[in-house]
Structure 1
Amino acid sequence: MPEALAALEEAYARRAPDGPAPVIGYVGADVPVELLTAAGARAFRLTGDPDAGSGTGDRYLGLGVDPAARSVLSRLLAGSYGHLDRVVVSHDCEASLRLFYALRELRRVEPGTALPEAYLVDLLHLPHRTTARYNRRRIGEFAARLEAWTGRPLDLPRAVAAHDERRRLLAAAAELRRAVPARLTGRQFLAVLNAPLPVDEHIALLRRLLDEADRLQEHPGRRVFLSGSDHDTPHVYEAVESEGYVIVGEDHSFGDLSVTDPIGTGDPGASGLGPAGLGTGSLGAGLGAGGLDVLAEHYHRSGPTAHRATAGERAAHAAAAVKRCRAELFVAYSRAGDEAPAWDFPAQRAALDVPAVLLERQEYGRADLTALKDLTCAV
């Protein structure tokens, strides 16, 4: 295995941040991580653990909430992530919002839990100008809160440029997986994308990975596009790929949906991020007001996830993505407690020209592949 891929796999397997503080854990696809980097913090996306119990999370959130959120709460209460200075939660789905409320109330009524302060970034995705204004205000409030936490102005131009470079490199890595045969498995791509590293270290390893691309193994299995619930752990990918399939694309926020278009050009003088866009007053001398506009627009139009897009939008996205990935099979995965993806499946199946199957009410981190195997035998 190439050294860079091995290093990314190792970092992904740790599933915990290392290195200097401050570390800000975050939950949800809508947290503007560029602002965390601009504040000089380590941004660490919190994930659950299907192999550990979630009894405490079940107690406070109830069994009707997505088990991934219940697992995250259980891990926070158990201190499984190590030291976190803050937790930032986005309103990307109902489970994330419920998690935020639980964290806020537990910190208030049970201070002995020693939970970090939680902050909600409440971004919306309706296609309206009023929604865009609402999101811009929320982004500005979050930037001001970060400045209050750190006591210094945010370096947004540099952070945006760094994250855009990482997006560019991740897009190139995604093309390795889409190659025929695939040069990365779905499980490997999750590691490449979600390794919990500081952005500069991540960029360095991604560059090395692309330099070593000719040493990557080929993976000629049946090509699957995976739709539906988020996968914050590799369990389901490993289950699918152990049966001879290779996942070449997906539409959840731990996968291809996070490999978005760049926010700016990487040039501090472009897109309102340079001196002409600098704000004044409470946002500090180093933060561009125009840059916040661009950031708010980027997160406003992100998606389409199962929780915030119409069935028609999801179907159109699925049809285009399946063609781009040259997938042979379409698998919609809907976790118990996360029913929204199953609602999209009829429209997705109608829009596709490849066989499709729904794996519904699946246990967290598990996959009953009977229907997939039956579909494979039938085509």
Structure 2
Amino acid sequence: MLAALAALEEAYARRGAPFEGRTGAGAPVVGYVGADMPVELLTAAGARAFRLTGDPESDSALGDRYLGRGVDPVARSVLARLLAGAFGDLDRVVVSRDCEASLRLFYALRELSRVEPGRRLPEVYLVDILHLPHRTTALYNRRRIGEFAARLEAWTGRPLDLAGAVAAHNERRRLLAAAAELRRAVPARLTGRQFLAVAGAALPVEEHIALLERLLAEAGRLAEHAGRRVFLSGSDHDTPHVYEAIESEGHVIVGEDHSFGEPLRAEPVGGGGLDALAEHYHHSGPTAHRATAAERAAHVATAVRRCRAELLLAYSRAGDEAPAWDFPAQRAAAGIPAVSLERQEYGRSDLTALRKDDPCAV
């Protein structure tokens, strides 16, 4: 494996592991949850921030107890890991309202801190970004973004370097888009599992940029990956388990529409201020939890053509049923064979339907 890809894989393997140390005096260690998180603000505050992930292999009993088994198992797993101290010494947890499960997680953490102070949970904060196509929603989001920026300044005791942070994250978006083109090549130069590592490496943004630049410089020496080209739609994948299972069957995942893979909206933030940041996250992509079936279908049809996929695979977890509602419209719009895997266990995949000779009939 090439050096840059190996380093990104190693950093991806560390995601969600206990963080040790600080970035400097007054710099908080922040774990965040949700696809709508304005990460530029965390970088601007100098925080050591990483996205919290679940673990299908660990016990989620504590999360099940406080959230109930009807909630997406990823949120239940994240809560269980927080209560067990699996993420180490966090100063804060910041949650975005990207879906109902994230919101339920926020309420559970806030209430547990109130009624069980002996647990010594980190302070929890909600970033409430909405996505209705109205001016009032845009104004609401601008206020929420401004409040979060003010809270970060209060936490760190210093002004935010927002312009620098926006520029850095825009550069990372540009490099990730270039890396995504390697996966779209025919044959693919990155597998779907490798792209998860490329996109999700647990690194500060500047270190991530440096490794992405090295990866692109080494692109001519990347291996070629043949196999049936799959576009994966549906639930988020915060671990590689499902990708590994699918690709072990001889497929290559060349695109996806969830928030741990290729960004739904790769366009840069159009300016260095809070107004531009609020606008960007207001229109951050058609996820299953907030977009219409028609919007999701149009997005998938475009993405399928762009990555030259040969199969549309829609995956939804038990407890995260919203993506399955979009499948009929997606199948009609994509114009390629399509398979739906519904009510899957977290981190697991029953691939019986994928193995059938005629996936169009599923």
Please, which of 146, 162, 168 is the counterpart of residue 152 of structure 2? 146
Q: Distance in 1 between matches of 2:226 and 2:125?
A: 45
Q: Is the 8 A contact 1:357 1:375 kept in 2?
A: no
Q: Is the 8 A contact 2:234 2:324 kept in 1?
A: yes
1:306-350: per-residue Cα shift (whole Å, max 9, x none)?
Answer: 001000000000100000010000000010000000000011111
Q: Distance in 2 between matches of 1:58 and 1:47?
A: 16
1:266-292: per-residue Cα shift (whole Å, max 9, x none)?
Answer: xxxxx3x3xxxxxxxxxxxxxxxxx10
- In structure 2, do the counterparts of structure 1 residues 314 and 2 end up closer, same or farther at CA, with 3 Å as the change threshold? same
Aligned to 2:319: 337
Aligned to 2:35: 29
1:151-191: per-residue Cα shift (whole Å, max 9, x none)?
Answer: 11100000000001111110000000000000000000000
Q: Is the 8 A contact 1:167 1:259 kept in 2?
A: no
Aligned to 1:192: 198
Secondary structure of the 2:326 match is helix
- In structure 2, do the counterparts of structure 1 residues 325 and 19 end up closer, same or farther at CA, with 3 Å as the change threshold? farther
Secondary structure of the 1:338 match is coil
Aligned to 1:116: 122
1:249 maps to 2:255: yes
- Structure 1: any 5+ residue segments left out of the alignment? 265-270, 274-290
Runs of 4+, deviation exceeding 6 Å: none
Q: Is the 8 A contact 2:20 2:88 kept in 1?
A: no
1:310 maps to 2:292: yes
Secondary structure of the 1:57 match is helix
Please, which of 293, 304, 315 is the counterpart of residue 275 of structure 2? 293
Q: Distance in 2 between matches of 1:128 and 1:258?
A: 21
- In structure 2, do the counterparts of structure 1 residues 356 and 378 end up closer, same or farther at CA, with 3 Å as the change threshold? closer
Aligned to 2:162: 156
Q: Is the 8 A contact 1:177 1:248 kept in 2?
A: yes
TM-score, with structure 1 as normaliser = 0.92
- In structure 2, do the counterparts of structure 1 residues 91 and 169 end up closer, same or farther at CA, with 3 Å as the change threshold? same
Q: Distance in 2 between matches of 1:378 and 1:102?
A: 42
Query: In the TM superposition, what is the alpha-carbon distance from 1:72 to its structure 2 partner?
Result: 0.1
Q: Is the 8 A contact 2:338 2:360 kept in 1?
A: no
1:373 maps to 2:342: no
Query: In the TM superposition, what is the alpha-carbon distance from 1:235 to its structure 2 partner?
Result: 0.5
Q: For 1:1-379, what aligned pairs fall within 5 Å after superposition?
A: 1-15=1-15, 16=17, 17=19, 20-21=22-23, 22-257=28-263, 260-264=266-270, 271=271, 273=272, 291-375=273-357
Query: In the TM superposition, what is the alpha-carbon distance from 1:115 to its structure 2 partner?
Result: 1.0
Q: Distance in 1 between matches of 2:287 and 2:359?
A: 30
- Structure 2: any 5+ residue segments left out of the alignment? none
- In structure 2, do the counterparts of structure 1 residues 134 and 46 end up closer, same or farther at CA, with 3 Å as the change threshold? same
Query: In the TM superposition, what is the alpha-carbon distance from 1:14 to its structure 2 partner?
Result: 1.6
Q: Distance in 1 between matches of 2:191 and 2:305?
A: 18
**Superposition CA RMSD, Å:** 1.2
Q: Is the 8 A contact 2:20 2:89 kept in 1?
A: no
Q: Which amino acid aligns with 1:20?
A: R
Q: Which amino acid aligns with 2:295?
A: E
Query: In the TM superposition, what is the alpha-carbon distance from 1:258 to its structure 2 partner?
Result: 5.1
1:106-153: per-residue Cα shift (whole Å, max 9, x none)?
Answer: 111111212100000001000011100000000000000001101111
Q: Is the 8 A contact 1:66 1:336 kept in 2?
A: yes
Q: Which amino acid aligns with 1:2?
A: L
Secondary structure of the 1:313 match is helix
Secondary structure of the 1:322 match is helix
Q: Distance in 2 between matches of 1:328 and 1:179?
A: 13
Q: Is the 8 A contact 1:171 1:259 kept in 2?
A: no
Give % identity.
81
TM-score, with structure 2 as normaliser = 0.96
Q: Distance in 1 between matches of 2:119 and 2:309?
A: 47
Secondary structure of the 1:126 match is coil
Query: In the TM superposition, what is the alpha-carbon distance from 1:259 to its structure 2 partner?
Result: 5.7
Paired residues, what number? 355
- In structure 2, do the counterparts of structure 1 residues 378 and 259 end up closer, same or farther at CA, with 3 Å as the change threshold? closer
